Amino acid sequence: EDKVVQSPLSLVVHEGDTVTLNCSYEVTNFRSLLWYKQEKKAPTFLFMLTSSGIEKKSGRLSSILDKKELFSILNITATQTGDSAIYLCAVANTGTASKLTFGTGTRLQVTL
């Protein structure tokens, strides 16, 4: 059974801080790892990673995958209160349908 573990479970930081969120996984026939941000209801897509060592970047957010050590990190620099959300990591295998296994998420709170 595929498994995704995220840490920390929750985090409180001050605006302007840099945070690193962790995601480790065990999956049979790995295909990709995805990061989502869930603020209220709808998870919104952040990154999809398929290759080791290649950093994906979008503004203050960046992510990288290590397929040898089976983990990914999501970095957020110069955090803002709008970054407060639950960050979900998910993995997809090479099965016959697009089936994502999600981690429990990291709840990030950014305070003034």
23 is a contact residue toward other proteins (CB under 8 A): no
1 is a contact residue toward other proteins (CB under 8 A): no
Min dist. Cβ of residue 78 to other proteins (A): 26
Specify the residue, 15 or 22, whose C-beta has the smaller distance to other proteins.
22
Sign of CA dihedral 22, 109, 76, 2: positive
DSSP 26-71: E-TTEEEEEEEEESSSSEEEEEEE-STTPPEEETTEEEEEETTTTE
Q: Copy the structure tokens of residue 104.
A: 């429990």
Residues 26-85 that bind other proteins (CB under 8 A): 31-32, 34, 36, 40-45, 48
Residues found near other proteins in the complex (CB under 8 A)? 31-32, 34, 36, 40-45, 48, 88, 92, 96-100, 102-105
